[in-house]
Structure formats: C-alpha cells, structure tokens
Chains A and B, each alone.
Chain A
C-alpha cells in the first residue's frame, strides 16, 4: 500500500497572509493576494510533484468567518473532551451544504481528512480575543499543528502572540512570506516534518529536489544570459540608402538598431523570469524600472559597466593578447613590443571608445546605391553594462518570493559593483568571449560554460541575500 503523502492545510483568520505563504512555498504567482478580506473562498490545492510523483500537498483555505458561532455549536454538541474530533466531523457534515458556515466547513474538511495544520497569524498586528475560538476549533480536530507568524506590516507584536499561541501549538515559527530567502523556505518546509515522523522522508526528498531545481534554474538563466549577450554583441542592422549622405536615414537605422537590442535584452529578461515561474512579471515588463533605466542612458552605464580604470586594464589585457600573437609569430624577435603596443592601443581605445557607442559603415552596393551597416557594437564597456544589468535582474528574480506583487526595480543599490567585483581572471575570460562575439568568431562551448559558472557563482554567493538570511535567521527560531 502506498504511504500517505504529507498534506498541510494553511488556515487562519482572513487576511493574515495564508495565500502569501502558499504563494511563496508553491512558487506560484497565480495565487490571488489582496489586502481586502475574503479573497479565498474555496480550498485550492498545490501538489508538489517530481516527475508526476506527489511528495507533499499544500492546501490554501478560506479564513474563519464565524468561528465563535461554530465553536458555540460544537460546545453545545459535545459531552466530553473525548468526542471533540467526532463533534467537529458532525459539524462539517451538518453544515456542509449550507452557506452560513461555508468557510469553516471548507477549511475543516482537509484537516479532518488528515492534513497537518499550519495556522497563520500576522505578527505585525496585536493579538486579539477573536483568534481564540479559531485556535480552539483547530485543537478540537486533534491534528498535528504548527503556528506560523507571518509579518505583513512593519510593527512586531511577536511577544504579545507568544503566550496565546503556545497554549494551542507546540511549534511556533516566524516566517516572512514576502522576504523569505530560498534557504528559509526550504528550512520551513523541512520543519513541517516535526509534525509527524512519517513526513520526514518525503519532505527531505522534496527539499532536495527543490534545491536541485533552483540550481537548474540558475544554470538555465545564466546560459540564457551568456548566449543572449553573445547574440547581442553580434547583432547588426543593414538598410539601403538612397543617398550615402542621408543623415536622417542613417539616424533611423541607428534607432532601429537600438530598438532591436532593447528587444533582445527584454526577451532575455522574460526568459529568465519564466525559469523562476514568473509569468505575470512578463506582462508588467513595460512598466519595469529596467525600462526607465534605459539601456543607452549615461546613468545606466555608470551603474552597471566597468569603471574607467577597469576598462582600461581590460582593454590593455585584450590589446596585449592581440599583440602577443605578433611576438609569438616572430619567435620573440619583436622583444615583446607587440604585447606592449597592443596594451597601449587596447587601453586607449577603451578610454576613448566609450564616447562612440554605435558605429556605422556605409557600403557601396554592386548594383549601385549604398547600404548603411549599424553595429555590431565594438565598445568595450557595452557588454559589461549588459552583463551587469542581466546579473542584477537575475539576482532580483531569483531572490524574489512569489508573494511579492510589486514591480521589479533595478536601483542603484541593487545594481552597483556587480561586474566590478568579478575576479580579474574570470573577467578576462569573459572579455575574450565578448571580443570573439563582436568579431563574429565562434565561441568555444568550454568558454561559454565557464561564463555560465561565473554568473551562477555571482548570484548564488550574493552578499545581499546572505545579509537578508542572517537578519531573518534571528527571528526564525522556534518560540
């Protein structure tokens, strides 16, 4: 016989963040989260499946609406403490088809079927006597239970909640559905196994799978960024000119080229978001902060690119690499003059090249007329700006919880210093890829893989997320 999978019913007072917690744990943005009460009217199931095999199930339930009246009914029909579970069952049976206690019946049904109870309260508002009836009803069900203190607002009333919660629940945990890092989410999930020994193994397995999925998502995103950047670096736009001096036509082509690049970058964003199950963000993309921080604005370049010094250094390295070919070719007869000269030229073009971003070439056509070729962009800082923005975006998306419904914004604090902090060896390796791509040369798979690894390591070991983890860790301990 197949062992019963762990099922958890997320229950509580209306508007205390039950759906937010489900949204975060199930990584599902389709969950309706609203500051208005009574958003959830029916139970909704969130099965966690691995290749079709279910490992656990979360059930989002409507909040209690008439807890005092339900408790009153149960007390009137109970003879002693030994019949509490039976009385709750009778209550549901009697009122199942009536509107009056629809929320109570809806939320109690999965619990009576064996689901563990996750009772959610909002730790940013004070405790009130209206919660007692709810907690008492849940105690009457006799199912294993845990209280989760969610924090919707800024204030903290954890101390006030400690005493009443500890009367009804053995385990009480603090979990901020909005800001919980991935590790916190996994920690909470595995913590559910404290409710029943039988749930230990499937929950551990689920946690392992979720960790593997996250690694997989980061890898896919990093690969998408790497390939996307190479494609952008190769991009160019050709259009025919009636007159080779027609500046209006040339400017139009430059604008068209810019639009093309922005579209390519935007497509890259959408793909990264989709890896993390964010489909609504895609629709909101036009309103994203990314768009306001235009790809070609001076501010964007300052925020996400390399510094002048780093640019010059990287340019010198690139130039020296080119010059060293001359040295090798001459068997060292040039006394390494090639490397030195290459470094000077590379550094100088990096310094001066930042001003001239999009180059154009006018070509004569065999059958007469002219053609303007816009791009590829050879400016040394351009791919670094793109990379900085892409990593910032990936970082924000990967750290975001699905309970967050605000816009994704790349600000100065989130975007600065990302590419500047890449170790110089990796930076040089990435520069080689950019250089090859700009020249239209093939980039080796091994080089691409190394860049993917670099991006993953930058996002996975992000100091911001570590900071966030540490601050929430202090308040996560069992009360």
Chain B
C-alpha cells in the first residue's frame, strides 16, 4: 500500500467525507465495516485508523480512477511552497549579508550592527513566536502573520493559481469543530521555519563567499564612554557556547581594543590598520549565526514540524464525519430488515363498485348470522329488512352444515337474504366461497344483503365498510349489497 503524507491523507479524508454525502448510509456502513474487518486495528489511534481507511478507499477508487487525488495535489503544492521558501530564504540571506557586510575599504564593517541585523532580529522574532505560542494568543499570531513570508507566499500563490491551492485554502479557512484553526497556524509557522533556516544558510554562504573572495575588516564604535574591557566581556559572553569548541572564534581583549573605530579621525583607536587582525571577526560572526541563528531555527523547524503533524492528525480525527467513519469501521453491521422487495398487494378496487340498495318498503329476508355475528329484529327493521327466519353459518359450523343450510334456504325461494357479519373482521375468501355457493342456488335477481355489525357500543368504521365493499366487488354480483347494520 502506497504511503502518503499526513496532509495528503487529511485532504483526501475530508474530500471522501464530502463525497460520501451522496452515498446511502447502508452502502457506507457496508463499505466501512468491510474495511474495518479486513484492515482495522481498533486499538490504534483514531488518526492511524483513518489513514488506513483512506488508503483502502484510494486503492478501491484507483482501480477506476487514475487521477491524482486532491490530497496528493495539496501535498505537492506544499512541497512547491517549501522549495520556493528555501530559495527565497537563501536569496534573502545572501542579499542581506551582502548589504550588511558591505565594505569598500574606507571604513570597517560595524560588527554590532551586523550582529543586530543578522542574529538579534531573528532571535527577537523567535522569542515573539515562543511567547505568543506559550501564552496561547493565536489571534495575535494571526495578526502578525501578515508579516510572515510563508503567509505572504501562500497569499501570492492563491492569486496566481487558485486551483492548486484550493484544497489547502479550503482546509485552513474552515474553523471551529474541524480543528483546522490550529492547523492553519501550525502550517504557517512550520513553513516560516523553512524560510528562516534557508535564510541562515544564505547568510552563512554569503559570509563565507565574502571571506573567500574579498578582504573584510570589522570594527565597532560608540559615542558612549564605554570601557573596552566591558565590551570585550560582552563579546566573550556571547561566545560562551563555543568557547571550548572553537577558541579561535572568541575575540580577546586585544582584538576588541584594536577594533574600536572613530569616524571623525577616520582611523582605529590605536591608529594602526591591521587588516588581517580586523578580518578575523568573521569567524565570530559565523559562529553567532550558526549558534543563535541556524541552530534555534533548525530546532524550531523540527518542533513546528512535529506540532504541524499533530495538528494535521488532530484535524483528521476532529473532521466532521471522522467519528462516524471510525464508528462504522468498529461497530458490527447489524441488519434486521427484509430481504428483497415488498410484493404486498394493496387491494385496489378494479371491479365496478357495488350498487346501493333501493330504499322503500321492508324486504322480507331470511337472515344468516355468519360466525356468530349477532343481530336483532329492531336493528334489521331499522335498515328496511323484515327478518323471517334466522340461520347460522361459518364459525363452529362445519362446511357440510353450511352446504345443507344453503340447500335448505334455496328451497324456500326467498325474496331476499341478509347475511350478518362482523365488521371488525376482514372479509375472508372462505366467506366469498359461501356467498358464491349461495348465489349458485338462488335466483340471480334475489337480493343478497351483507350487513356489517359493530362491536357492542361502537359504530361500523368507514374503512371497514370500504374493505368489505372492495372484497365483495370481486364477486361481480349486481344483486349483492353491503350495508352497516
């Protein structure tokens, strides 16, 4: 499995989460659980598990899509930015040194000014970074980033090629729960360290070049009445870190004394120009740049690199949707839903609806109570039916008893038959069979009235009547009626 940088993984994870919005939750669950079962080690850190996840997704996607991912593009862009910062830093360091150590042979280079520009300014910015980072004042740092070469370069590149920087820009512009507010800061600080390391290397290269191809003379001057011994102690104090390692880079009292310079007289304090001796300051400047410039910046580069990696990892696990991915990978896929499509048939009334019975004089009827559905003469009379005789069918009656009863009824040549049924029970096919057998024995015009009784104290519901009408319409019997009792 190909390894990608943390940033590439972060960008691709966020991209994939955005793409997953279009995919159903079931599909995501299946995909991620499969990845989880095959590749995941649940005890690993969240970031590690997410990286493993995105690598598998990349592999799966890669089979059908050979395009470079946004994450890889983002990392390439960052690499370009780092390269440009190295170039820029080295050039700046070179030019700065050339300017600071400009020497035309008239007056020596002021060693204090050189140290202030080449070393102290760097120490100052480093100190600011340290203080604001420790105090946790990201707002101040953000405001100061307008002077940050890395931030400036990113801003410039965004104007030139916004597409390339889109992923990074999206990444660092979002805030809050995505955890990328910290990432933006870390990225800028980390990139800036590349610039400053290159700047120091540029300074050192330019210094060595000047020393190699030209003669340099250094001096120092002041209006104040300063004791040379104090100044010498000050220089010596600065060179404390390398005193034992490079004794030649520690200026002695004689060199300090000799290097004091007065512009009015246009000469050195002791009056003698000893160019070779005055040039020996270069090794002191070199050590100052190495120890107070390059070394802290290298350390800052390493620390900011670690912090940047941590911020990327943090942004990875706090990305909106990352928790869900981890949960999908580690949670068993529990499925309880049905297999296949539902082929349930919702009854549609495709037959012509039953006709309504004409109201008029009472119709003398034989009454059949189906499955112990009870009726009363009063109720039957109320719906225009004059009960002549009561019979039972369905329920505990056997099929043979039902058949005999039908034959018996048919022999009476009835004017009408009322079948009382329970409205709360659905019309079964068994009942339809019974009605068919009844009609088979009767005249086709003999009214067959199905009367729905309700549970005691209740009324027949509209849906119950509808259900019975829909089912009985299947019989296509023009003399069949359904009514509530």
Chain A residues 223-237 with CB under 8 Å of chain B are: 223, 227, 230-231, 234
Give the docked Cα–Cα distance between A467 and B73 (Å). 57
Residues of A that sit less than 8 Å from B by CB = 13-15, 19, 25-28, 30-32, 34-42, 44-52, 60, 63-69, 72, 103, 125-126, 128-130, 132, 155, 209-210, 212-213, 216, 219-220, 223, 227, 230-231, 234, 274-275, 277, 436-437, 440-443, 445, 448
- B466 cross-chain contacts in A, Cβ below 8 A: 36
- A219 cross-chain contacts in B, Cβ below 8 A: 327
| Best-surrounded residue of B342, B371, B398 (most CB of chain A within 10 A) | B342
Known: A128-B425, A212-B331, A445-B317. 16 other contacts (CB 8 A): A38-B426, A39-B345, A39-B346, A44-B339, A51-B33, A68-B399, A68-B430, A69-B399, A72-B399, A129-B371, A230-B176, A231-B320, A234-B175, A437-B177, A441-B176, A442-B175
Contact indicator per residue, chain B 387-413, by CB within 8 Å of chain A (1) or not (0): 000000011101100000000000000
- Tell whether A209 pairs with B347 under 8 Å between CB atoms, given A30-B342, A223-B324: no
Whether the Cβ atoms of B395 and A129 lie closer than 8 Å is yes
Interface residue from B324, B337, B394 paired with A130 (Cβ < 8 Å): B394
- B327 cross-chain contacts in A, Cβ below 8 A: 216, 219-220
Chain B residues 409-441 with CB under 8 Å of chain A are: 422, 424-430, 433
Whether the Cβ atoms of A38 and B176 lie closer than 8 Å is no
- B467 cross-chain contacts in A, Cβ below 8 A: 35-37
- What is the interface size of chain B, counting residues whose CB is below 8 A from a CB of the partner? 57
Residues of B that sit less than 8 Å from A by CB = 25, 33, 37, 175-182, 314, 317-318, 320, 323-324, 327, 331-340, 342-347, 371-372, 394-396, 398-399, 422, 424-430, 433, 455, 458, 463, 466-467, 470-471
Whether the Cβ atoms of A45 and B433 lie closer than 8 Å is no
User: Nearest 7 CB-CB pairs, A to B?
Assistant: A37-B426, A129-B395, A32-B344, A65-B429, A28-B337, A442-B181, A213-B334
- A220 cross-chain contacts in B, Cβ below 8 A: 324, 327
Whether the Cβ atoms of A66 and B428 lie closer than 8 Å is yes
Whether the Cβ atoms of A441 and B463 lie closer than 8 Å is no
Residue on B with the closest CB to A27? Answer: B336
- Tell whether A36 pairs with B336 under 8 Å between CB atoms, given A441-B176, A448-B177: no
Interface residue from B323, B334, B427, B470 paired with A49 (Cβ < 8 Å): B334
Distance to closest chain A CB from B470 (angstroms)? 7
- A216 cross-chain contacts in B, Cβ below 8 A: 327, 331
- Tell whether A28 pairs with B336 under 8 Å between CB atoms, given A35-B467, A234-B176, A442-B176: yes
Whether the Cβ atoms of B430 and A69 lie closer than 8 Å is yes
Whether the Cβ atoms of B336 and A26 lie closer than 8 Å is yes
- Tell whether A437 pairs with B372 under 8 Å between CB atoms, given A28-B337, A67-B430: no
Whether the Cβ atoms of B399 and A37 lie closer than 8 Å is no
- Tell whether A129 pairs with B470 under 8 Å between CB atoms, given A46-B336, A220-B327, A230-B176: no
Give the docked Cα–Cα distance between A44 and B430 (Å). 24
Give the docked Cα–Cα distance between A87 and B396 (Å). 22
Residue on A with the closest CB to B335? Answer: A49
- B425 cross-chain contacts in A, Cβ below 8 A: 13, 15, 125, 128, 130
Whether the Cβ atoms of B342 and A32 lie closer than 8 Å is yes
- Tell whether A28 pairs with B371 under 8 Å between CB atoms, given A35-B467, A36-B346, A230-B177: no
Whether the Cβ atoms of B430 and A31 lie closer than 8 Å is no
Give the docked Cα–Cα distance between A382 and B425 (Å). 52
| Best-surrounded residue of B33, B176, B180, B422 (most CB of chain A within 10 A) | B176
Give the docked Cα–Cα distance between A35 and B470 (Å). 13
Whether the Cβ atoms of A442 and B177 lie closer than 8 Å is yes
For this complex, 18 residue pairs linking A to B, each with C-beta atoms less than 8 Å apart, are A26-B338, A30-B337, A31-B338, A36-B463, A47-B336, A48-B335, A49-B334, A50-B333, A67-B430, A68-B430, A125-B424, A129-B394, A130-B394, A130-B395, A230-B176, A231-B176, A442-B176, A442-B181
- B339 cross-chain contacts in A, Cβ below 8 A: 44-47
